[in-house]
């Protein structure tokens, strides 16, 4: 099951995410924080940094294990948090790779699917880019 929690509403404190993960997420759960880098990146609030470090130890305990993933379009992290993170850098597929994927799917389903036109195919590829 996938659920979300929006930090963008008025009055929501970015530090509330720690209580949410600690108290409302199941053991062995995975929480994905999209764009949370703005709270733990360059010049973060020291209270948020400390809460993250404290929560990390709770999340790693076997009886309360949780995994937290931060998705970010950039990598800037407060130096004191670097030891708590594993960084994975990846690049998005280029147009040639996307074209190959789209054509492969279309070929696999040619009995059920046909392009309306070459323009339709090109639009799908452009949108996937």
pLDDT digits (tens, 9 = 90+) for 5-45: 665 554 467 788 888 888 888 888 999 888 888 888 888 88
The verdict on 29 and 64 lying in the same domain is: yes
The residue to which tokens 């949370």 are assigned: 36
Residue 100 has pLDDT above 90, yes or no: yes
Residue 24 covered by a domain: yes
Q: In terms of residue numbers, what domain contains 124?
A: 95-128
Contact 85, 76 (CB under 8 A): no
Same domain, 42 and 22: yes
Please, what is the Cα angle at 85 between 81 and 90, to 5 degrees? 130
Is 10 a domain residue?
no
Rounded to whole angstroms, how far apart are CA atoms 108 and 6? 38
- Inside any domain, residue 6: no
46 and 79 inside one domain: yes
Which tens digit of pLDDT belongs to each residue from 107-129? 999 899 889 999 999 999 999 98
The dihedral sign for the CA sequence 110, 113, 118, 120: negative
pLDDT at 2 over 80: no
Q: Are residues 20 and 77 in the same domain?
A: yes
Asked if 65 and 113 sit in the same domain, the reply is: no
């Amino acid at each position: 099951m996938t659920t979300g929690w929006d930090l963008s509403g008025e009055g929501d404190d970015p530090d509330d995410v720690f209580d949410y993960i600690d108290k409302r997420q199941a053991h062995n759960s995975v929480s994905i924080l999209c764009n949370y880098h703005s709270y733990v990146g360059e010049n973060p609030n020291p209270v948020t940094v400390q809460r993250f470090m404290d929560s990390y130890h709770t999340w790693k305990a076997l009886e309360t294990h949780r995994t937290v993933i931060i998705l970010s379009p950039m990598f800037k992290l407060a130096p004191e948090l670097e030891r708590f993170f594993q960084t994975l850098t990846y690049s998005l597929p280029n147009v040639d790779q996307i074209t190959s994927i789209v054509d492969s799917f279309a070929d696999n389903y040619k009995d059920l699917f046909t392009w309306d036109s070459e323009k339709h195919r090109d639009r799908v590829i452009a949108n996937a880019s």
